[in-house]
Structure 1
Amino acid sequence: MVFAASPLALAQELLAILHRDGDRLRRIDDYLHGRHSDPYMPPQADDEYRLLARRAVSNWMPLLVSTPAQALYVDGYRPGSGTSATSEPDSETPEWEHWQRSRLDGRQAAVYRGALTYGHAFTMTERGRSGDVITRGLSALKTSALYEDPANDHTPHAALTVTTWPQGDQPGTARLWDAKREYVVTFRSLSDEKSVRLQGGTLHGSSECPVTRFAAWVDLEGRTLGVIEPMICVQDRINQTVFDLLLAQSYGSTKVRTVTGMAPPVQRDPETGEPVLDAQGNPIPVRINHNSRRFLFAEDPDVKFGSLDETPLGGFIDSIEMSIRHLSALAQVPPQTILGQIANLSAEALQAAEVSLSRMISEVRTGFGESWERVFRLAGELAGNASSAEDFRGEVVWRDMESRSLAQSADALGKLRTQLGIPERGLWRRVPGVTQTELEDWEQMREDDDSVGQLAGALNRATPEDAAPIEKAAA
């Protein structure tokens, strides 16, 4: 794709993209937050029907986003070849210092959730007011980017994010970045190209656009896809079935007692004995206080008592469970996570049920990892670190979030050490829940222990007759 050289034309095109995709992204946002389409109901439905329709919304969308997002956590960065490269992640590298300065330990989750929800999210790397280089997340609802090849390019040609929306007579504002400069954009509406104005044009310090896209899945047409949009039809089906269940539960789940051949008593004037009539001229019946402690009887032999059976609810419940299982299969979320039912399942069976989710998470990690590596290169360039800016072999380290007990992990790691001869320090990272800081503490403790042992050995060799006391003192 060939873009116009004018920054104004780029701003107009990027705002037009936000306008074009706005309805689709807002619909996804509505379904994430429980604002779903109403289930089908008759046109003459009363307020009671509409109340049941609102209560029928069973929002499964946050779970579909949270399940893979909670398994995504960057725990370190391993630099590639270069003067500062190390074989193991190090918390003192410039890349990880930038990560901590940007507070991405906590903010990274918002980027993942945005990308999984809408199909893509963005980050922007810049030098802050204090002079430090920081990275912050940008919402897909307010940000758009242009690529020469959207399916394959990792570097956008230009990007724009809205900072304030138009309100009344006040125009909206946005920030625009191209390969060299940053501009301030004002606009009256996303669809009004003639109202777009440009200000500034300051150098942002990078050799390319400082905005990075995090895409969950991208096809060869450059289209991004999240986990919510394909599930909207299934979610609507679940809501419709729950609505039908509530209707049957409210109006037909109890037995109805019937009486034929008997007219109800009517209210009568105590003085004249004449029936009391309503506004339409009909006799007003006497309200019968009937409950399970009272009996109905009639003197007329032609009176017959009967009942209407209740509507069985089992079919509705089975239909809901079937739709939820379909949702689980299509979203690659284990059924026990959605249904909350675990009965007599072994550890192997649970692990097999999570294979599909693990494969999806591995796929998403690959794409997100490439995006974080570009962020580190941008930060290195802005910080003046040439080795970090040109490090295309570095990679982020994802925390192992699989649910395994410490005893199982210890047994497996011990077998790897004794049977395969893998160095024990190479297995430290596979300990469940271990952080980069803890690994470095272990490394320092190991070096301290080695130093004490070497000192004790040297003293023992120098004075072999006092070996035992010296070893005891050194310990």
Structure 2
Amino acid sequence: MQALDAPQNNYGNYARYYRGEQPLAFHSEESTEAIGDKLSHLVVNVPRVLVNSLAERMRVSGMSCDKGDVWSEFVRNDLDQLAGVVHRSALLYGQSFVLVWGDGSRPVVTVESPQQVQVLTDPATRAITSAVKRWENKTKQETHAMLYLPDQVQHWRGKTVGAANTSLELIETLPNPMGQVPIVRFLNADLICDEGTSEIADIMGLTDALSKLSTDMLTASEFLAKPRRYLTGEPLEREPVFDENGDPVIGSDGEQETKPVVAIPDGDRFMQAEGEHARFGQLDGAPLDGFKNSADLTLSLISAVSNLPPSYLGIVHSNPSSAEAIKSAEAGLISRATSKMASFGRSWEAVGRLMASVITGADPHTVECRVKWSDPNLRSEAQLADAAMKWRSETLMSRKSALRARGLSDDEITEELKEIYTEMQMEALAKSDPALMRFAKSQEAAGNMSYAPLGEELQGLELEAA
């Protein structure tokens, strides 16, 4: 529980930056007081762009295990869609978790937040030795915690919301048949001893600087960039001064004090003066180029630190980028996503072993699993089709591999191959005997037959026709 509580302040700070709710930084107290509530600060939410740009390139397309049909259970638990949530949480907070349990012989898998779950590891092997999940039931005014051990699961409860760790009471103990802590950690770490690093940690200060520059630019556009008109030669009007109680302020001469005021409202488009010596003029507005140059420099630094392509940050050039230039600019981001896929792939394989253990009852350590990823390169449909056709024409890629390169999952590939085989059968029938083809179509339309692999079905059709 202490390990769970320790990083919560950092997690809350990361979440504020991801949602764009962080306070304005690098602003003096004088500037804040001068602006007041006239202009709220502008947050340029680069952290969300960085996290989502990496997560959208990490797509799990399949999983195979030597024991049990894990992929179908993977899909049944919606992990093919929730995997993106796991990746985003790990990239944002530095770690995220997946809990695997069983409902009979069917695995029940849930995605867990590091704000509720934490693990302890063996310092020698770095294997997870125990885990805890804590949540609050505000309806019943209770705090619950589940302690996961290799041999059992303990349910603890406190009778108040936000109960202290020492006030929790053990109310239930369940056996753990898997013999392993059923929680898998997705750790975003570049070094061995790291306990998780947020991808936005390096750009938080730069994001604050960019938000401050954007706010200053808007403030300058409000107070300085508008052309100011002036009028000289006309006497200023004066109005009486009152104190906070509404009483007139009397000067040393015994008369009520007055103060000069501008008679013409600042927003008026036209002005008129009766004095013959009155003169009108206009002051040029302050240029905002300095803010733009500073913002471009900050965006360039963010791009260098985060590997985000300049086009993702709104950095445009006079010459439009070619397709090859855009692909080259995204190389760093794709390489970064590929390294994260290699790290998270080990965790997904651990999830698959636990799911296979629930399905078959086997020891998770005896199960072999492999996770399949979609290509992190986001290419156009024409590029994908052209590449697949070239590889297929040179017999360097199977039809299944070509469909997988297209981004299809294993289930979609199986369904697509069935459709392809059906079309091949229909074409073969049409070439062999047009009458047999018409008979096959009529039988299919009536629902009296289904297509099997090519050779067996052709034999069956010939028997039925006879």
Tell me the TM-score normalised to structure 1 length. 0.78
Contact (CA 8 Å) 2:374, 2:404: kept in 1 or not?
A: no
1:173 is paired with a residue whose SS is: strand
Equivalences for residues 164-243 of structure 1 within 5 A: 164=136, 170-187=141-158, 192-243=164-215
1:2-28 deviations in Å (ceiling 9; x for gaps):
xxxxxxxxxxxxx11122211111111
How high is the sequence identity, in percent, across the aligned residues? 22
For structure 1, list consecutive stretches of 5 or more residues without a partner in the other structure.
Answer: 1-14, 85-92, 269-276, 461-466
1:77 is paired with a residue whose SS is: strand
Query: 1:247: how far off?
Result: 2.2
Contact (CA 8 Å) 1:379, 1:389: kept in 2 or not?
A: no
2:180 is paired with a residue whose SS is: coil
Quote the residue 1:157 is aligned against: 129
Contact (CA 8 Å) 1:265, 1:286: kept in 2 or not?
A: yes
Query: 1:254: how far off?
Result: 2.1
Equivalences for residues 426-465 of structure 1 within 5 A: 426-448=400-422
2:350 is paired with a residue whose SS is: helix
Quote the residue 1:140 is aligned against: 114
Distance 1:385 1:196, change over 3 A: closer
Quote the residue 1:119 is aligned against: 94
Q: Which amino acid aligns with 2:37?
A: L
Distance 1:106 1:48, change over 3 A: farther
Contact (CA 8 Å) 2:152, 2:173: kept in 1 or not?
A: yes
Distance 1:246 1:436, change over 3 A: same
Contact (CA 8 Å) 1:39, 1:53: kept in 2 or not?
A: no
Equivalences for residues 6-155 of structure 1 within 5 A: 15-43=1-29, 49-51=35-37, 54-79=40-65, 82=66, 94-128=69-103, 132-149=106-123, 153=126, 155=127
Quote the residue 1:326 is aligned against: 301
Moved more, 322-331 or 172-181: 322-331
Aligned equivalents of 2:398, 2:360: Cα separation in 1: 37
Distance 1:127 1:450, change over 3 A: same
Q: Which amino acid aligns with 1:444?
A: K
Contact (CA 8 Å) 1:95, 1:388: kept in 2 or not?
A: no
Query: 1:309: how far off?
Result: 3.8
Q: Which amino acid aligns with 1:124?
A: L
Distance 1:289 1:349, change over 3 A: closer
CA RMSD of aligned residues (A): 3.5
Equivalences for residues 238-277 of structure 1 within 5 A: 238-259=210-231, 262-265=234-237
Contact (CA 8 Å) 2:217, 2:288: kept in 1 or not?
A: yes
Match 1:417 to one of 370, 389, 392: 392
Q: Which amino acid aligns with 1:71?
A: R
In the alignment, structure 1 residue 377 sits paired with structure 2 residue 328? no
Aligned equivalents of 1:203, 1:385: Cα separation in 2: 14
Contact (CA 8 Å) 1:216, 1:224: kept in 2 or not?
A: yes
Aligned equivalents of 1:364, 1:441: Cα separation in 2: 30
Quote the residue 1:8 is aligned against: none
Q: Which amino acid aligns with 2:390?
A: K
1:67-96 deviations in Å (ceiling 9; x for gaps):
1111222111133xx5x6xxxxxxxx6101
Q: Which amino acid aligns with 1:127?
A: G
Moved more, 329-338 or 398-407: 398-407
Contact (CA 8 Å) 2:179, 2:363: kept in 1 or not?
A: no
Q: Which amino acid aligns with 1:18?
A: L
Query: 1:184: how far off?
Result: 1.2
Aligned equivalents of 1:35, 1:406: Cα separation in 2: 37
In the alignment, structure 1 residue 350 sits paired with structure 2 residue 350? no
Quote the residue 2:291 is aligned against: 316
Q: Which amino acid aligns with 1:310?
A: G
User: Aligned residue pairs: how many?
Assistant: 426
Moved more, 175-184 or 342-351: 342-351
Contact (CA 8 Å) 2:42, 2:211: kept in 1 or not?
A: yes
1:335-380 deviations in Å (ceiling 9; x for gaps):
2122174852211111101101110110111111111111111111
Aligned equivalents of 1:138, 1:267: Cα separation in 2: 66
Quote the residue 2:458 is aligned against: none
Aligned equivalents of 2:191, 2:340: Cα separation in 1: 13
Aligned equivalents of 1:468, 1:106: Cα separation in 2: 46
Q: Which amino acid aligns with 2:382?
A: A
Query: 1:255: how far off?
Result: 3.0
Aligned equivalents of 1:223, 1:191: Cα separation in 2: 26
Query: 1:438: how far off?
Result: 2.9
Contact (CA 8 Å) 1:115, 1:214: kept in 2 or not?
A: yes
Match 1:399 to one of 359, 374, 385: 374
Contact (CA 8 Å) 1:380, 1:389: kept in 2 or not?
A: no
Aligned equivalents of 1:106, 1:384: Cα separation in 2: 25
Quote the residue 1:87 is aligned against: none
Query: 1:176: how far off?
Result: 0.7
Aligned equivalents of 2:26, 2:320: Cα separation in 1: 39
Equivalences for residues 354-369 of structure 1 within 5 A: 354-369=330-345
Aligned equivalents of 1:278, 1:288: Cα separation in 2: 25
Query: 1:44: how far off?
Result: 5.0
Contact (CA 8 Å) 1:381, 1:389: kept in 2 or not?
A: no
Contact (CA 8 Å) 1:52, 1:247: kept in 2 or not?
A: no
For structure 2, list consecutive stretches of 5 or more residues without a partner in the other structure.
Answer: 241-247, 251-255, 442-466
